[in-house]
């Protein structure tokens, strides 16, 4: 089974591409794909100013995936009931994902979660993908995931 963790920007193409939601939903229901997300992803979606867009993206994310705690506690980002306390020796990875910039803390929380969960990070943020690759976290764009799903065997 392919396991992936979504960054908030990865759900936009699902909403905007005809058949994308249905393809991912079918793959998850067939047990070929597991989609994960964190509270950080939901928090970022909840900050979208357009109410209709915010609701649509949030509902798509929740319908496709399963929430998991962040891979480490990140001050100012993590919610106590939705994070793992401590980075368990992965502080260097967390800092590399943050790239010395506190504004990248939400991305770092999402990236380290992909590492802890042992799955690929789905993001369309090229800078996050580059930082994640630097610490050996597999990354995919939404399009790359859709291409993979299209190539999965039918159940």
pTM, two decimal places:
0.90
| pLDDT attached to residue 88 | 60
The pLDDT tens digits for 122-143 are 999 999 999 999 999 999 999 9
Look-up of token digits 């799903």 = 149
2-150 in CATH: which number? 3.40.50.1010
Confidence of residue 104 (pLDDT cuts 50, 70, 90): confident
| Mean pLDDT for all residues in the chain | 89
Q: What is the share, in percent, of the chain residues with pLDDT greater than 90?
A: 72
Confidence of residue 89 (pLDDT cuts 50, 70, 90): low
Please tell me which residue, 103 or 92, carries the higher pLDDT value: 103
pLDDT above 90: residue 154: no
């Amino acid at each position: 089974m392919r396991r992936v963790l979504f960054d908030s920007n990865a759900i936009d193409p699902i909403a905007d591409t005809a058949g994308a939601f249905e393809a991912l939903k079918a793959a998850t229901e067939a047990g070929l794909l597991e989609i994960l997300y964190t509270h950080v992803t939901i928090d970022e979606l909840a900050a979208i100013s357009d109410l209709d867009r915010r609701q649509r993206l949030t509902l798509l994310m929740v319908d496709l995936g399963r929430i998991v705690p962040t891979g480490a506690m990140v001050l100012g980002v993590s919610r106590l009931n939705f994070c793992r306390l401590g980075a368990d020796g992965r502080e260097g990875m967390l800092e590399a994902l943050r790239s010395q910039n506190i504004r990248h803390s939400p991305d770092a929380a999402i990236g380290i979660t992909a590492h802890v969960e042992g799955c690929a990070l789905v993001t369309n943020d090229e800078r996050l993908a580059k930082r994640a690759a630097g610490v050996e976290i597999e990354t995919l764009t939404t399009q790359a995931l859709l291409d993979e799903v299209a190539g999965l065997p039918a159940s």
